Amino acid sequence: MTQKALAEAVGISRQTMNAIEQGEFNPTIRLCRAICRVLGKSLDDLFGAEDKDNGENGGMIMYCASCRMVFDEDTRCPVCGSKKVREAMPDDICFLTEAAPIPGGMLKDILDQNDISVLASSSIGAAMAMRAGTMFERIRYYVRFDDLEKAKEIAADLSL
């Protein structure tokens, strides 16, 4: 089937069809369905399935930079509700877990041994920790998105 014939069959211009093929124009769902109907293909055959191997659910892993949280494909952050989310990148710093200083220190040691660089930040200020005693201090640990999966397994082994 020629581009022109297909364009005519679904009621769009040949230029539009060309732009869709070049990836310069995202067709509407309605148009996608029309094209599929004409070609006798499913939506997945034509438009989906490209990144089926990325992640278990086939969806993107998204990242909220203000919370440093990753979550499954969604248009807003489940923690702060921000819509300023984007696809997670390997170098994004992601929240791993929060722990008291002692198990947290063990976690950090094991991560270090696995060549996973970890950032730690106290969830209460240093002055507050001094007043309340370090036993109440909680440390938040962050790792690169690339290392998150492995780091989570290590944290789970320590029941963190």
User: How far is the C-alpha of 37 from the C-alpha of 2, rounded, in Å?
Assistant: 16
Q: Which residues pair with 139 in a beta bridge?
A: 99, 122
Q: How many residues bind Zn ion (CB under 5 A)?
A: 6
H or E element at residue 62: strand 61-64
Helix/strand/coil percent split, the chain, to 5: 40, 20, 40
77 or 118: CB nearest Zn ion: 77
80 binds Zn ion per the rule CB under 5 A: yes
Confirm or reject binding of residue 89 to Zn ion (CB under 5 A). Answer: no
Choose one: 12-20, 60-68, 118-126, 146-154; the region binding Zn ion (CB under 5 A).
Answer: 60-68
Beta bridge mates, 71: 62
| 77: contact with Zn ion by CB under 5 A | yes
User: Taking CB under 5 A as the rule, does residue 139 contact Zn ion?
Assistant: no
**What minimum distance in Å lies between the beta carbon of 107 and Zn ion?**
23
Altogether, the residues listed in the chain come to a count of 160
Measured from the CB atom, the residue of 25 and 71 that comes closer to Zn ion is: 71
Residues that bind Zn ion (CB under 5 A): 64, 67, 77, 79-80, 82
